[in-house]
Chains A and B, each alone.
Chain A
């Protein structure tokens, strides 16, 4: 399984000649051109966990520090961009390769600790000075599970849904395959012990934002709103509302849309959040969290839309 994970991670890096053989092995369509890669992953859906898990909705910050911290705590070299999905897939694959349950299933799984470091058996295994092998095995398992649940699975529902929504055929197929491989990986690492910290700590939208900038901050932070708003989504919304879409980065474009028709845009975003919630499904506790957060975001947007409509002066008779 690790080889499939590694290969899927590599395929979201900028295209090069080697990608053709990798895509073929994964039974994917021919890999995209550099322009297509830029259009989908460069400009719309950068594959960095911190964008989807951080309260700011941007690369870096505490969300990235958390995953870097996991690498450090596990005694592994932290990649330069530790929250890159490519690096995360590579790290998961490397951990799977060193997990003796994977490479030597005959090893008694019960003897090497559990995935939850809070579990007394795991703690005992980690601290066992008489059996370094047992401690190392426990560390690998715990790290693998933590990396998977906390930093990969935690943002896949909205991210893969967005790729399927706006992606080209290659990326749609890639998202389907990654989804399947990650589901298989979930079985290997063991069940989720607790909701990922990123999600538990995520601020929920509530009340009236302190200003337009604060509102934009929530709308463009997936972990707050529960939905991913891409450039294509904004174009679709503008077309649906008959508004003009100004060229520029998302914050600029959304600000312009709100200036034209705040109530309409907020209402459309509420509907969009519900549409996205509907595709998250309820396959896992994480997916359910995202669904719930999107519903909450939609409800919050409904209120803002009403307020905006109330403030909008009636058209002249």
Chain B
């Protein structure tokens, strides 16, 4: 036997030789890590024995990567395309993906169910009867697109461009469609974010400019999660696997969750606070950190805007850091553990214990709140703001084990065309009452239209289902069935949903393995790019059969959006006279239509640093590399960007103001990464902000008005909310003082781990696992009401009620009930087979007659005709459906609750829960939309509109992020004095 060192050298040499060929030497994690991945050099012809044949028949697969489309995590998938017949047989994790690292949650592999779903929509349909009548006729893509394009063209040429609106759920891509709308020159982007994460974002935005965190979980010593994040959070899989790694390493997990969720069950410390009290807890912890001297003084002195606070808020310019520290010592002194304990209804000792754990984390504190408490409560944005305060106090910001701004851990490449910002402002999405709203007031659309503020010529719902997902769905139905308000409704969707039932056109879109997108998300301290692609198209091309139109490869006539938008844009502006077409033209073939191959080829060859060289090392063109690998890590170890020195070349004629902000006349270099970044103002002489002065150096700082982490927000102070300019605690609308003696708090925001709103409804595996949503209720409350598990209760909200089964459990605190928002899918009886029959109940919908003859009233009832049942289809599994319950659509009974600052719908409800009345049936719904209107007006009255509070005559602070940001001149308030914005 050779000497061991010689053997090791032989192995190293063999490994280098194999890996130099781009092949796999070590087979990778196998059963040791409960995972096995086919080596990538064999992805063209991977052989497996078919588990369903007794004779060990071999199946030959081509493995084609893509990106999951079921949530925003953008995890990598690997489609197993059967080379015989070119069908997708299964989807597993893509080991080449830097974020998900070959792992998936249940929703990823279930993409296969969505591909083979017997109820999916395979061809374009046009309404044949009244809206909601359930009568449809086949229509060609050409007919549909010509009609839609003509209407959009007319709206644009008649200067009604803002009557074109695109309402999106989770985009699943980074900016493509926003650029389409910008090319059309319309301010028509309408995201779902104000029913989702706006308040979570706002708290981060006011601190660091970026509106979401990127916790470095894997390296953290202490992890704080507000919600069931580990189990079912927004970035469930990429984040959960890193949280698990940290826990294996010994990190402590602290979870604040009113329910004993799966996440809470894994926690070292679980706190179940009174909903809405979370900010009080964090302020008590912050005060404890300060009082015990465990804050990072050096970090605070360098990176907080304490000088601005002292100078502007307290009128003490030139104050020293020691003077600020004296202020800091008492800033939150009223938030004692005893106070927080009273608000939260938990032991002060438990809060003190977690405070010491957090204080001991030093810079290795990773924390996250996304929906949950932030999304549930009036003032919920202070939950994320006070949570990030803990990171800021400990210096656990943009460092190993800390929490980064998301924009530094994400990569968005520059596309082939970049249309200008639209020169228009849409009052239906950005009404004047909400100048600080983080996102569009999407869920108020029926009320804003009802106010007479506008109507829509063409309304796209794109893989989004506002009737079901939004609160107050009956108001949506009232709007969608009124042709004077919505003149044309186009539902772009892979599958039937509650909203599509009321559409004029239903156009079939591809699922995750049937469309192109680029997608990047913050999962750790790195920047990566995921490539979603139609896998059958890629497979055919790999076999030498070029595909010019994804419909040629997708099932039926299912299309993808990229090609759809390009085609529609050409039809809107066929001769280029509107200046739209040029944004969708080929550069390789001037004057011709841009194709998706060229679109991505351009990006991968010109806009992704390192990709061309990496691809060349494998002997591939960049596009071919991405088609084969599905993802690319652009950089890792980004580190503290705020501390990076600004190059001298960027400091032409630089001046530094009293707050240490450095302005320059040097033009801004074009960034490689066009991830959205806030745009703080320059100086009065026209210089742009280049950075801030710290320790005698000019460094990048943070994209906030002060350039630093903003303890005190001048924006909030100047835009009408000075009382909230510091991180503070706002009593929720469901604070115990706001409740009647017989009211409970309803938590309607939590998820089940395997479902994701409408999008996963057409996945039979997921439906079998989770298909109902009983009401969690504590035994004490159940005993008072007189109900047992399975018994029916009536839950009364401000505008109506729903009937639901009780689940009596000690897994929720007394005084609070909870019902998951993922269930309660329904289809109208008139829809017949057109619906997701695996998960939708069939209902009757009745609207009482109005007081005036011929007019409809406002009182709606929904009653289940029958639940889910087995049925015959192309999929034999549909005959094996054993469940009938589809849950309750509780969101219908919620009025709109827009937070007056963030604009976020405050989901939690003050409810009365009582035993169901005789005649009540499971899933019954009653709503009075007149009461919905009253609730809308009541919450509107809480606002401080821009024309009352704007300090500079604009509608909104320009520096704040905004999807599809319009040109600066339209920020001016109509009729405002002519002041420079």
Contact = CB atoms under 8 A, between A and B. Distances in A.
A72 B251 CA distance: 9
B667 interface: no
A10 B25 CA distance: 11
Interface string A30-57: 0000000000000000000000000000
B47 to A, nearest CB: 10
A25 B7 CA distance: 7
Given A25-B10, A181-B7, A77 B245 contact: yes
A197 interface: no
A89 to B, nearest CB: 10
A4 B7 contact: yes
B850 interface: no
* A10, A68, A71, A177: most-surrounded residue (chain B CB, <10 A): A10
Nearest to A1: B8
Interface stretch (A16-24, A228-236, A279-287): A16-24
A80 B33 contact: yes
B21 to A, nearest CB: 11
A80 B34 contact: yes
A84 interface: yes
A22 B11 contact: yes
Interface stretch (B12-20, B419-427, B451-459, B550-558): B12-20
Nearest to A15: B27
B7 A79 contact: no
B27 A16 contact: yes
Contacts of B26: 6-7, 10, 18, 22
A44 B462 CA distance: 58
A19 B39 CA distance: 12
A21 to B, nearest CB: 6
A181 B4 contact: yes
A98 to B, nearest CB: 15
Contact of A13 (B14, B25, B27, B42): B27
B1 A180 contact: yes
A87 interface: yes
Contacts of B851: none
Contacts of A68: 248
B27 A21 contact: no
A75 B8 CA distance: 27
Contacts of B11: 3-4, 6-7, 22, 25-26
B4 A79 contact: no
A78 B218 CA distance: 12
A195 interface: no
A73 interface: yes
Nearest to B219: A75
Interface in A117-157: none
A112 B24 CA distance: 35
A72 B7 contact: no
B27 A19 contact: yes
B546 interface: no
A80 B31 CA distance: 9
Given A4-B4, A16-B27, A27-B7, A75 B18 contact: no
A239 interface: no
A286 B467 CA distance: 71
Contact of B25 (A2, A21, A73, A177): A21
A307 interface: no
A62 interface: no
A21 B32 contact: no
Given A86-B32, A87-B32, A184 B4 contact: yes
B10 A72 contact: no
B298 to A, nearest CB: 15
Contacts of B39: 17-18
A176 interface: yes
B62 to A, nearest CB: 18
B14 A21 contact: yes
B2 interface: yes
Nearest to A177: B1
A77 B8 contact: no
B250 interface: yes
A13 B250 contact: no
Contacts of B9: 3
B14 A77 contact: no
A80 B32 contact: yes
A3 B34 CA distance: 23
Counting chain A CB atoms within 10 Å of each CB, the highest count among B10, B11, B24, B250 belongs to: B11
A76 interface: yes
Contacts of A10: 26-27
Contacts of B855: none
B15 A3 contact: yes
B796 to A, nearest CB: 48
B249 interface: yes
Contact of A77 (B1, B31, B248): B248
A26 B7 CA distance: 6
A6 B8 CA distance: 9
A1 B32 contact: no
Interface in B300-319: none
B980 interface: no
B8 A72 contact: no
B56 interface: no
Nearest to A5: B8
B157 interface: no
Contacts of B250: 72-73, 75
A226 B39 CA distance: 41
Interface centre among A6, A13, A17 (most CB of B within 10 A): A13
B15 A78 contact: no
B30 interface: yes
A176 B32 contact: no
A6 B11 CA distance: 9
B220 to A, nearest CB: 11
A182 to B, nearest CB: 9
A78 B14 contact: no
Contacts of A184: 4-5
Contacts of A13: 27, 30-32
Contacts of B31: 13-14
A302 interface: no
Contacts of A176: 1
A81 interface: yes
Interface string A58-83: 00000000001001110111111100
Nearest to A19: B27
Nearest to A181: B4
A24 B14 contact: yes
19 contacts: A1-B4, A1-B8, A3-B15, A7-B11, A10-B27, A13-B30, A13-B32, A17-B27, A22-B25, A24-B14, A71-B248, A71-B249, A77-B249, A78-B249, A79-B32, A84-B32, A87-B32, A183-B4, A184-B5
Given A1-B5, A3-B12, A18-B25, 16 more contacts: A3-B8, A3-B9, A5-B8, A6-B26, A7-B26, A10-B27, A16-B27, A16-B30, A17-B39, A18-B24, A19-B27, A21-B14, A75-B249, A77-B218, A78-B248, A78-B249
Interface of A: 1-7, 10, 13-14, 16-19, 21-22, 24-27, 68, 71-73, 75-81, 84, 86-87, 90, 176-177, 180-181, 183-184
Give me the 7 closest cross-chain CB pairs, A-B, nearest first: A4-B8, A25-B14, A184-B4, A72-B250, A78-B248, A3-B11, A25-B11
Interface of B: 1-2, 4-5, 7-15, 18, 24-27, 30-34, 39, 42, 218, 245, 248-250
